[in-house]
Amino acid sequence: MRAIILAAGLGLRLQQPAGEQFPKCLLQFEGVTLLERHLQMLESAGVTEVVLALGFQPELVEAELRRIGWPHEVEVVLNPRFDLGSVLTVHRTAQALTRGGDVLLMDADVLYDERVFAPLVAGEAPANRLLIDRDFEAGDEPVKLCLRDGVPVELRKQLAVGLKYDTIGESVGFFRLNETTARRFAQIVEGYVDTGRANMPHEEALRDLLLERGNEFETADVTGAPWIEIDFPNDVKRAGEEVLPQLAPVLSRMKQAAI
């Protein structure tokens, strides 16, 4: 199993001062960056093959990788057109998507607890799995995941009028794809790029995948487990004040060895 972490974006909605912008995966909570938290969570689950998709200020992220001193090689893939949609970033990871085995596709801008991550990696491979949190704030920002009889029928911020579903929640932004599904996803993403839709969010391509193969996916309910996607300044505040106190402490192996 390998993890593909999407960390190419500008993070403009954080409203960082001009000249002081940096990738969101470098946001720190209790002195630990989101990137380091991702890596330690993956290592605790036995996932040591990691592909990091970068775009904006990749040198800062690569410097953080060196500082962390994670004991496994991280493959870095660059998207020089990070100003376009995240579909193009995923397209840059096509080789990692299609080289075989289960794939974890993960947004980098999420602070989360192991209770969120554990259901994603549980069980034997191969597996297709996604996460739903039924306790979410209504509005235009959350990416809604809708199920009917346990099968995904929608993955979008805006729901179509008349859509029929029996369960709705927010998508955490993490997906597990088996080898066959990952290859199909790469084909869908390539279709977006080839037809001039590289400026789209990758969730649109994931939506197409779910509508095509939804009955092949398991959905893990992580309602009640602490997590937050960080897009706006208030999200940073909530992450530090509300989510962080509920998380298990993160202490890297490198730091443990130094104690």
| Dihedral angle of Cα 51, 42, 60, 68, to the nearest 10 degrees | -130
Measure the CA–CA gap between 253 and 247, rounded to whole angstroms. 18
- Confirm if 191 and 90 have CB atoms less than 8 A apart: no
Residue 208 lies in a domain: no
Measure the CA–CA gap between 235 and 238, rounded to whole angstroms. 5
pLDDT digits (tens, 9 = 90+) for 109-143: 999 999 999 999 998 889 999 999 999 988 888 99
The overall pTM is greater than 0.85: yes
Task: Print the domain residue range for 79.
Answer: 2-129+173-199+225-258
Residue 20 lies in a domain: yes
The type of residue at 170 is E
Neighbouring residues of 9: CB distance < 8 A, sequence distance ≥ 6: 23, 24, 55, 56, 82, 86, 89, 109
Residue 150 lies in a domain: no
| Confidence band of 179 (pLDDT split at 50, 70, 90) | very high
pLDDT digits (tens, 9 = 90+) for 225-252: 999 999 999 999 999 999 999 997 764 4
Residue 74 lies in a domain: yes
Residue 88 lies in a domain: yes
Give the tokens for residue 174.
Answer: 């993490």
Measure the CA–CA gap between 30 and 121, rounded to whole angstroms. 26
pLDDT digits (tens, 9 = 90+) for 137-153: 888 889 999 999 999 99
Residue 213 lies in a domain: no
Domain harbouring 27, CATH code: 3.90.550.10
pLDDT digits (tens, 9 = 90+) for 29-55: 999 999 999 999 999 999 999 999 999
| Dihedral angle of Cα 222, 227, 233, 237, to the nearest 10 degrees | 130
Mean pLDDT, range 185-209, rounded to an integer: 97
Cα→Cα distances 45→1, 28, 226, 248, Å: 10, 22, 18, 15
Q: Three-class SS of residue 34?
A: helix
Please report the pLDDT score of residue 74 as a whole number: 97
Q: Does residue 170 surpass a pLDDT of 90?
A: yes
Residue 13 lies in a domain: yes
| Dihedral angle of Cα 176, 203, 190, 148, to the nearest 10 degrees | 70
Longest dimension (CA), the chain: 58
Residue 164 lies in a domain: no
CA nearest to 234, candidates 10, 6, 13: 13
| Counted domains in the chain | 1
